[in-house]
Structure 1
């Protein structure tokens, strides 16, 4: 990238935010840019009711999404707790005991937003009457109720899925269909029907919670979560494909992916757009069109965002001097880098590093 082009791209005032999909990679670090006068989002309280032999993978998949969502927000979006049916630790399907915050009968529903029953392959689906009565009492409050794996079975027994669509693990499907004809059972990985949510297994628990979070907080938060949790997702037929530079980049045109690869490989000494066009064997105009259509920004702007993202990672993950980080990411020196970093993230590099270590 020529000095004149670099200066024009990087010194335009009032244009300091991520235009491209790289904002999802940096979302957890953009909190300093948010206006403190804005009303913070409401923190929703979620309670997981763990059945004996519950699916650990389904539970942690659901919890992982809400914990990651909190990492992307200036204030926590969710609070979560684990409860048991009758108190004490609960044994998971892996033979690991999980401590809980209380038992179902003592659960305070005043600020409860969501209750999710987490079952498993060997979970007992014949709860005592007080459990069903307590679930019915909780349902009088305005809250979402759901099930992981076969947790929906308990909600159906309590009459809380009558007239609703749901899903359940295939092993529990026949019993639910036969015993609860007023429940619309769907052969789907997860189902969201008004204030009832359900997933059929371990993998779909994460997908279900992403859908809930998308409804409550929008696509940007979900894409930020996926950027963190789905970085190693592979196609079944290509298990040895290298991890993509950018989420979804495998679906981009070959020419654009070639340019992104060139940019990724030339951070310390950025190439000019003309050089990128030459190596990728496309015209400058084609590059502009590709970035406008698929990246929603200009090639120069994306290159800068890629470099500042790399700089943020080096800054927070290594002890390298700030000047070294600046030069390694194609900036002319520490002052230039510090201005750019503050413009994007709202704090100086030294402030970001010191905050990271608190």
Structure 2
């Protein structure tokens, strides 16, 4: 569910009968894995629903093929000069967005915003939205490699280390597979959790991450430096969560005094080493609570807490919720409960012909191919 404090108008939300149309703007050197992660859930949503819930087009500035960061060349459906009736626009970025975003891109994105279209970005595509002035005073996610440079370039954007952010009519995701998590959350909001769960089953995705999950940002990028002693100390901490090392011992391992150790953490991390060590253990505990079936007592033990009450107290103080509450609120799984035969009787593919000025949707073509799959129309829509 989208957070209430960010909720806004959602074109194509639950109950809409026509497909939502999405334009994917491909920048030079975009990352192919991020593009696949954002499109494949849409394809599978259509397949499992047995009808076209989403259609999409790939676009480039001039309609010419564009190369992904791995060297593969992708031929887009159309150029950005072709008029399309879009509900969403998603910018697909990758390597060096500072050099791949052009003035024409920015002007086109501004025009899309004026037409009240939802704007999104994946990997480093947030840079393009920010350059067009479309992320000012919005919360946004971007791949951790660009966090520092983007914050400096666009101080009016509220950047976060979260895997993805949904803020009113803007949705942004970091790279890799994070766009899949974002899209599964959006699909669940539009068409119900059962469909989202069915898609994650098809992709062997054990857990759909939400907006509260963060990227694991390498420490040197958090610090903006490669201070060797501090990196060495933190590496020792991360390797010894079950049996925490005393601070005096840590200091001896890296040949600094206890006082120097304290100064390093205050200067670069703005906290005491003991506080930072506790944070590492609690973050690890949260991962275990959300992703494993370990009992709370076992989680406390493997994260270096000598008693469950002490663990619960520290956890509540840091995350604002007790471990038991964290466990009960995560990993909600919605299984499929209708046969494919029943679902097929409930809905048929209705080929929605595009306007004469629009090309045939590749979503419709893939949906036709999917009719022979045993999962076709296997999830009845409840919204």
Could you say which TM-score interval applies, normalised by the shorter chain?
0.5 to 0.7
1:203 aligns with 177
Q: 1:48 aligns with which of 24, 35, 43?
A: 24
1:108 aligns with 83
Larger radius of gyration: 1
The TM-score, its normalising length taken from structure 2, stands at 0.51
2:145 aligns with 171
Superposed CA deviations along residues 208-264 of structure 1, whole A, max 9, x for unmatched, are 11111111111111011011112578xxxxxxxxxxxxxx998599xxxxxxxxxxx
Superposed CA deviations along residues 130-169 of structure 1, whole A, max 9, x for unmatched, are 2211111111112111111110001001000011100111
Q: Secondary structure at the match of 1:121?
A: coil
Alignment of 1:86-235 (within 5 A): 86-104=62-80, 106-109=81-84, 111-125=85-99, 127-230=101-204
Distance 2:140 2:149 in 1: 14
Distance 1:108 1:145 in 2: 17
Distance 2:333 2:79 in 1: 49
Q: CA RMSD in A?
A: 3.5
For structure 2, the residue ranges without an aligned partner over 5 or more in a row are 1-14, 208-289, 296-331, 347-370, 375-383
Distance 1:190 1:249 in 2: 19
Distance 2:46 2:109 in 1: 28
Structure-2 change in CA distance of 1:250 and 1:52 (3 Å): same
Distance 1:168 1:123 in 2: 11
2:41 aligns with 65
Contact 1:49 1:116 in 2 (8 A): yes
2:350 aligns with none
- The count of corresponding residues between Structure 1 and Structure 2 is 219
Distance 1:120 1:199 in 2: 12
Shift of 1:128: 2.8
Shift of 1:73: 1.4
The TM-score, its normalising length taken from structure 1, stands at 0.54
